[in-house]
Amino acid sequence: MSLGYAEKLSYIEDVGNVGMSEFFDSSHVLQEKIERLAEMIQKSKHLVVFTGAGISTSCGIPDFRGPKGIWTLQREGKPLPEASLPFHRAMPSMTHMALVELEKAGILKFIISQNVDGLHLRSGIPREKLAELHGNSFMEACPSCGVEYLRDFEVETIGLKETSRRCSDVKCGAKLKDTVLDWEDALPTKEMLPAEKHCRMADVVLCLGTSLQITPACNLPLKCLRGGGKIIIVNLQKTPKDKKASLVIHGFVDKVIAGVMNFLNLRIAPYVRIDLLQVIITQSLSLDERYVNWNLRVASVHALKAPLPFIKSIEVSFADAQKYKAAVLHDQPFNLKRRTAPAEAFEILLKLNFIDGCGCPSIQINVPVNFKVSSDCFNLDKDLTIRNLKEKAIQDLCCGQNALIERKVILEPKTEVANHAIVTNIKAFNSDSWSNGDVKHPRGVNGTRISRKRSFGRKRKSRF
């Protein structure tokens, strides 16, 4: 996986403590602590979760400070781990998806994350219940109107710099900026204010997979103590805040959370990833008006010049294979130019070949073309369509399902744009496989290798 985030950071000599030793509670002790944690969560009225890189290591994203962490390997002069998957194809872990279920059950009130991998949003946590203290590698924001844009590709810059895209609001149009902080950038007020508020309100702050070294972020959990709240820390390394915690658990985060979910009788739903693309057909009459010159383009819905990161190549063929010549598009932007008689109707067959990291190798989309018939614009219920796609993927336990979600027509130049949604990954979770079977099951709740994380142990500026 790409380790570009670490390379984009400004160089500093001291990155804090690295190569920290890992500790593991014995099986019996771990089981007792998991049950105690589950009971505390079950009784909580305002649970806040504070996350670090440790919840994403099982997604293939290495941390910075552990024995195989990025900074540890660099300090030892060892090569960094090879990328097994592109960063943008990382999928949420069991812990990410368990937090979604806790939020849906009304138990989890807020998440504060130091990670920039965007996996909390991808998992389904509502944006208003999430503070991303150090930004999101897949998020751009408009500095003028404040609109946020979640991308399917990694934004090319960090340090709150301008990107190559603009706000899509016709009344705005300002240049967008990345949201990821560099070393000297102050923590954003927009994220810090709700984080502080919820920590003060919390009766339990659960710290997952964080060494709690970087200030001022690491002091946020302490704000619950004044109101009688409790801190629980789940981490493989010891932290500077362990003495303030009511419970410290040394174990893999996924194993601990799986045990908690079993104790609470809460099922973890599969993760389904849906990617979007647009098929654009632009037409114009030839000078002698005998032919229609048309251009096919398969592009990102985020911007015409934005990358389409999950597509490796596109095989273009036609239902009438004898009349129209097939082609293979290897390079982005994916464009094909042809000419046909104005009265001809035909069907384009697009075989989309996916990159490694997608759950299926390819799918086919059929595109009917009739230049004599004007296409109507229509917008399907996008949320409903995507929800149906997810349900079908979970039912089939496979990916490749796709649906048209929008079609629009532009009069000059005459262009038809069709937006498609595609299920490109599905990941199921079995919390029982992480449990040793000793967890007791009371009634349910309410009576029934990529590197993008910021956990560096160095003080960051704050506006507070």
Active site residues per annotation: 134
| Cα 357 → chain centroid | 14
Known binding-site positions: 142, 145, 167, 172
Instruction: From 360, 246, 272, 355, select the one nearest 310 (Cα to Cα).
Output: 355
The answer to whether residues 220 and 214 touch, using CB atoms and an 8 Å cutoff, is: no
455 CB contacts (<8 Å, ≥6 apart)?
52, 53, 63, 64, 65, 114, 210, 211, 213, 214
- Strands 230-234, 247-249: pairing is parallel
Residues contributing to the annotated binding site for Zn(2+): 142, 145, 167, 172
Residue 24 — left, alpha, or beta (φ > 0 → left; ψ -120 to 50 → alpha)?
Answer: beta
Burial class (CB in 10 A: 0-12, 13-18, 19+), 251: buried
The C-alpha atoms of residue 394 and residue 389 are separated, in whole angstroms, by 9
26 contact partners, CB below 8 Å, separation of at least 6: none
User: What are the DSSP E strand ranges found in 115-270?
Assistant: 130-132, 139-141, 148-150, 162-166, 175-178, 204-208, 230-234, 247-249
Please tell me the distance from the alpha carbon of residue 334 to that of residue 358, in angstroms, as a whole number. 19
Task: For tokens 């009739």, name the residue.
Answer: 370
| Exposure on the CB side of residue 307, measured as CA atoms within 13 A | 13
Backbone φ and ψ for 238, nearest 5 degrees, come out as -70, 150
